[in-house]
Amino acid sequence: MRPPPALPAPRTSVAPRSPEGSSGPRGLRLRLLRPADQPALVALRRALDASARHRCWGSRPVDELPVPELPTRRTPAGPLHLGAFDPAGHLVGHAALQHPPLGTPHGDPRTGPPGSQVPEVALVVHPEWRSSGVGKALWRQLRRLAAPRWPTVAALVEADNRPALALLRQAHLAVVDHGDPGTFDLLVATGPTPPPWPADAPHPRVLIEGGTWAGCPEGWAFAGRPGTVLRCPGPPPGQTCPALLDHPCPLVDGADVLVLSSTLGPSARLLAAAHRRIQASLPLLSTSPVPGAPHPR
């Protein structure tokens, strides 16, 4: 395989306009990948630095990675492969949604509930084009295309992958609390509201509100217990928690127990009051001094 041709300088921003094919102000084009794009996809993988390869596929050598089949026509439940092309037509970014995820042998579903029934996101941008808005444009478009079929998608991200976390954080998301501080298992909403609980999440379903990327004491207290613990780190930057607006929240609606983390500080009171108004029958635990809320044990 020949190395990919030299790429022009990165652009500063891209702005998708139409759902399946779109262009940015400086000529970057987003469109669904077709079977003929497979060599370009392989070339993009080869152009990646070792760290990016490791983040996407672990330690598997690039030659051993399965090349995804690119569909000739898009079907609602089928895989989704979106490419970002520079003005010369070179593929400089790839966003995919696939179940089973890229990198797993065909027929080997993502293991471990919850979320094993939702497709996983894979995002990659050519090293020379990073930090210039390509990932953001791909992610925004991927969510838009996925939303009618998949209200929730999964993402597995290493804790030190700040660009990926910043990107995913722009959507409503929940952290699956599985006790591994090195990797975040995320359920990310494709639409404008928080993600619903995956259908396969075992009960009791505990929703913890608050915490940081690194977790929270309440999450550690629930580690190893039966059921499922999801943590809501709050709305995306610049948005307001639906509960504070007295709007329904799919995460709260699907929970059996709600825990307000001590990391919330003064907003714990506001949240407790909001939940009492709209989900009066839902058990509410808090380690902060919230009137009427017992402490978790």
**For residues 137 and 243, which CB has a smaller minimum distance to ligand COA in the complex?**
137
60 part of the interface to ligand COA, by CB under 6 A? no
Q: In what order do the strands lie in the sheet with 80-85?
A: 21-23, 29-32, 80-85, 91-98, 120-125, 152-158, 183-189, 173-176, 228-232, 205-209, 257-260, 284-286
Q: Which listed range, 29-37, 71-79, 103-111, 157-165, lies at the site for ligand COA (CB under 6 A)?
A: 157-165
Work out which of 12, 131, 212, 239 binds ligand COA, going by CB under 6 A.
Answer: 131
From 25-33, 51-59, 73-81, 244-252, give the range in contact with ligand COA by CB under 6 A. Answer: 51-59
Backbone φ/ψ region at 64: left (φ over 0), alpha (ψ -120 to 50), beta:
alpha
DSSP tag of 71: P
* Other beta carbons less than 10 A from residue 225's beta carbon: 10
Mode of pairing for the β-strands spanning 257-260 and 21-23: unpaired
Query: In sequence order, what DSSP letters do the residues of 198-261 get, joined into one string?
Result: PTTPPSSEEEEE--BTTB-HHHHHHTT-SSEEEEE--SSTT---GGGGT---HHHHT-SEEEE-
Q: Which range of residues in 1-9, 153-161, 258-266, 282-290 is near ligand COA by CB under 6 A?
A: 153-161
- Contact pick of 32, 41, 97, 155 for ligand COA (by CB under 6 A): 155
Tokens 């550690």, residue located: 220
Instruction: Rule CB under 6 A: choose which of 46, 130, 178, 269 binds ligand COA.
Output: 130
- From the list 20-28, 65-73, 128-136, 220-228, the region that binds ligand COA by CB under 6 A is 128-136
Question: Can you tell me which of 40, 91, 118, 125 binds ligand COA, judged by CB under 6 A?
Answer: 125
- Of 24 and 254, nearer to ligand COA (C-beta) is 24
Q: Assess 166 for contact with ligand COA (CB under 6 A).
A: yes
Q: What are phi and psi of 99, to 5 degrees?
A: -135, 120
Q: Binding residues for ligand COA, per CB under 6 A?
A: 52, 55-56, 121, 123-125, 130-136, 155, 157, 161-164, 166-167
